Amino acid sequence: MERSPILEKMERRYRYFPVFVAIYEVLGILSLVLMCVWTGVWAGGWGWYGTSAEFNVHPVLMMLGLTFFHGNGMLVFRVMRNQNIKLLKFIHMTFMAIGAVAVVFGLIAVFGYHNWAGFSNMYSIHSWMGIAVVLFYFIQLTLGVTAFLLPCTPLSFGATLLPIHMFGGMAIYGGACATMLVGLYERVYMLLTTSYSSLGSEAVTVNILGLVMGLACIVVLYIVSKDAWRRREVHVVTHTTRTEEEHHTHGRHTPPR
């Protein structure tokens, strides 16, 4: 049976896509492992309410929410591009919602630690950047649910918001990585002070963590921004009669994502 030229073109277009996704997943998991090793071993472990170890919960949860779940949420429409659009929207929203829960507990941890230790809140560039990223994250989540999941929302609003929503997701991810790198430097310099320059095991681990985070950010933003890998509605027409689904998906227009 002769293969469709459209399907062959799609296979060529996505030839290297799985490689880049695999690279991102490896980098994302490695960054989480390195963060857990640093905070769990060298920085004193994890705790809650009234202990110095409460702070160490903060970077783990923020990385989990703002990069790992956020990054995988952005990839849903590309990795699962052949699935039903309603299912993809639900999975995408689930990833982002889980990320939001992790972010909330991450903020509780850092504010709780500062209050317990008697430190001031919201004084550093890291904290200012972090609050801005979190604020935009929740605005993005709220607008996304309103525009793309609520059936009462006008289609024109979703179509207008989609390119802004896509750019906003990438900007938030990049901003989150930049904020984490600043916070990483602030924390390690505070803990190691003069010993940082000697490049001991802890310092090397933190430096590798920063590099891995940066590489993961570059890879996922490349995947999401590459137009050839965006989700498209493809239909191989075998009958002379076209169905409404060739132009719409369950009654809602679906632009490429």
Mean pLDDT of 191-196: 77
* In the predicted structure, residue 6 carries a pLDDT above the cut 70: no
139-163 exposure pattern, b = at least 16 Cβ within 10 A, e = fewer: ebbebbeebbeeeeeeeeebeebbe
Those residues whose C-beta lies under 8 Å from the C-beta of residue 22, and which sit 6 or more positions away, are none
Q: What is the mean pLDDT of the chain?
A: 87
Mean pLDDT of 40-67: 91
Tens digit of pLDDT for each residue in 123-156?
999 999 999 999 999 999 999 999 999 999 999 9
- In this prediction, residue 221 carries a pLDDT of 97
Count of residues making up the chain:
257
In which residue are the tokens 């970077």 written?
Answer: 59
> Which token pair is 232?
């498209």
* In the predicted structure, residue 29 carries a pLDDT above the cut 70: yes
Sign of CA dihedral 147, 153, 155, 160: negative
Tens digit of pLDDT for each residue in 71-123?
999 999 999 988 999 999 999 999 999 999 999 999 999 999 999 989 999 99
**193 phi-psi bin (left φ>0, alpha ψ -120 to 50, beta other):** left
* DSSP conformation letters of 156-224: HHHHHHHHHHHHHHHHHHHHHHHHHHHHHHHHHHHHHGGGGGGT-HHHHHHHHHHHHHHHHHHHHHHHH
> Which token pair is 78?
């590309």
* In the predicted structure, residue 246 carries a pLDDT above the cut 80: no
- In this prediction, residue 188 carries a pLDDT of 85
Angle among Cα 237, 257, 19 to the nearest 5 degrees reads 95
Quickly state the pLDDT bin for 237 (edges 50, 70, 90): very low
